[in-house]
Amino acid sequence: MYKKINFKYKSKVKVSKLAANLIGSEIVKIGNEVNDLKAKGAEIANLTIGDLNSNIYPIPAKLKEEIQKAYQNNLTNYPPANGLLSLRKEVSKDLKTRWNLDYSPNDILITAGSRPLIYAVYKTIVDEGDKVVYPTPSWNNNHYAYLTSAEAVEVKTTPENNFLPTADDLRPHLDGAVLVALCSPLNPTGTMFTKEQLSDICELILAENNKRGENEKPLYLMYDQIYSNLTFGAQHVDPVSLFPEMKEYTIYIDGISKCLAATGVRVGWGFGPAHILDKMKALLTHVGAWAPKPEQEATAKFYENPENVNTFVEDFKGKLEESLKVLHGGIQDLKGKGLAVDSIEPMGALYLTIKLDYIGKVKPDGSVIENSSDLVFYLINEAGVALVPFSAFGEEKSEPWFRASVGGLAIEEISTMMPKLENALNALK
């Protein structure tokens, strides 16, 4: 039973320390600027959002049909707290056939996309002051670490390693840590772990756990593979497939948001050790973060036939790959013309990593590009091109690296923007 507490506020504007110190999203700030300019008639190639233009990339027709049918059948009451059994069964089968991973329906938790799962992983494992290790750049780990009052250990990565952490990068930081947070294919870079890279990290985590006593909290791995179906030639790898003994320590994040172009449908799933998943489920019952019942029912029906998934994914990722190739090729053409730019060949997801080495340059009006945010807003206004700086993913604003997401644009729009980008960069001295 909870003890009743009487709060006495001195001012109506007071909020919690946590709320008062939350950091606003840099991506949202850039997005607001883009939307304001577009509302005034500006043409902006918006490469900021990790989302999809649903007119260019609609969800599968069969999935849409099943969603509509579920609403017509009045499946609009609460779903079970851990998700519909029919969906958890289909996810279990898909994990086995697609990745050869053995997880029973009881080891799977369905939520409204992947964010509640990530939050629940942090809240289930991390106590105040516990050490959490994650690479930069990476998506939102800094915010989840803050929300759980963790000791955040940010491990800086390098372009030479495709901005992915190596075992050597992580090794000095694992003593006493309770969670390592990794993602592959990686948001924001679109790069992926090789079998060798991930194997080295798994061996490191296993060795760390073997050192710990029975009364010590283990070192867990949160492995976000929400983009795992969207890969271009490279082989997606995962911890438990490489080392079965990692099953005791690994919590996976997955779902349909990216692979079925269904970001707004809000169906995600996590799977991992039963004692962790059970506590995540208990936590989320107090948050109400379950996926809507009609969407769960529809996803279960869609996954009953694996070809539904395979056919859609092959076509969809082919289109994404083509857009990324056009953008990567355009950046490489600018590099060939002598501009201070570069890009890393995309391996998966929706993203291209772009280097624009123009921090410190002078704009035509005589003002200086002080940092990556300055360059972003200069390019929005002068080139009609909107990117996200890596500072939104934990890097310093002095870093000249940016994320470009192709999900919101047609190929023609990408081609059209390149001369505008070239002219704007050439105007910097």
Tokens of 273: 């050790």
Distance CA(68)–CA(295), nearest Å, equals 9
Distance CA(12)–CA(10), nearest Å, equals 7
Convert the pLDDT of each residue in 58-68 to its tens digit: 999 999 999 99
Judged by DSSP in three states, 197 sits in helix
Query: Tokens 């989840």 sit at which residue?
Result: 144
**Helices 372-383 and 26-39, interaxial angle, to 10°?**
20
In this structure, what DSSP letter does residue 234 have? S
Q: How confident is the model at residue 3 (pLDDT cuts 50, 70, 90)?
A: very low
Of 221, 297, 229, 289, give the one whose Cα is nearest residue 257.
229
Which residues are registered as beta bridge partners of 352? 404
Q: Determine how β-strand 131-136 pairs with β-strand 177-183.
A: parallel
Say which CATH topology domain 17-57+311-426 has. Aspartate Aminotransferase, domain 1 (3.90.1150)
Convert the pLDDT of each residue in 244-298 to its tens digit: 999 999 999 999 999 999 999 999 999 999 999 999 999 999 999 999 999 999 9
Are 327 and 165 within 8 A, CB to CB?
Answer: no
Distance CA(217)–CA(153), nearest Å, equals 18
Where exactly are the structural domains of the chain? Answer: 17-57+311-426, 61-305
pLDDT of residue 257: 98
pLDDT of residue 35: 85
The continuous run of DSSP H or E covering 422 comes out as: helix 411-426
Of 274, 178, 190, give the one whose Cα is nearest residue 226.
190
Distance CA(251)–CA(238), nearest Å, equals 11
Are 241 and 233 within 8 A, CB to CB?
Answer: no
Convert the pLDDT of each residue in 104-118 to its tens digit: 999 999 999 999 999
Q: How confident is the model at residue 2 (pLDDT cuts 50, 70, 90)?
A: very low
Assess whether pLDDT exceeds 70 at residue 317: yes
Assess whether pLDDT exceeds 80 at residue 43: yes
Could you say which of 3.40.640.10, 3.50.30.60, 1.10.490.10, 3.50.50.60 is the CATH number of the domain covering 61-305?
3.40.640.10
pLDDT of residue 1: 43
Query: Tokens 């073997």 sit at which residue?
Result: 210
First-to-last alpha carbon distance for the chain, in angstroms, is 67
Assess whether pLDDT exceeds 80 at residue 142: yes
pLDDT of residue 277: 97
Are 249 and 273 within 8 A, CB to CB?
Answer: yes
Convert the pLDDT of each residue in 331-364 to its tens digit: 999 999 999 999 999 999 999 999 999 999 999 9
pLDDT of residue 80: 97
Encoded amino acid at 372, one letter: S
Q: Determine how β-strand 341-344 pairs with β-strand 351-356.
A: antiparallel
Using CA atoms, how far residue 147 sits from 140, 143, 164, 286, 331, in Å, is 11, 6, 24, 16, 37
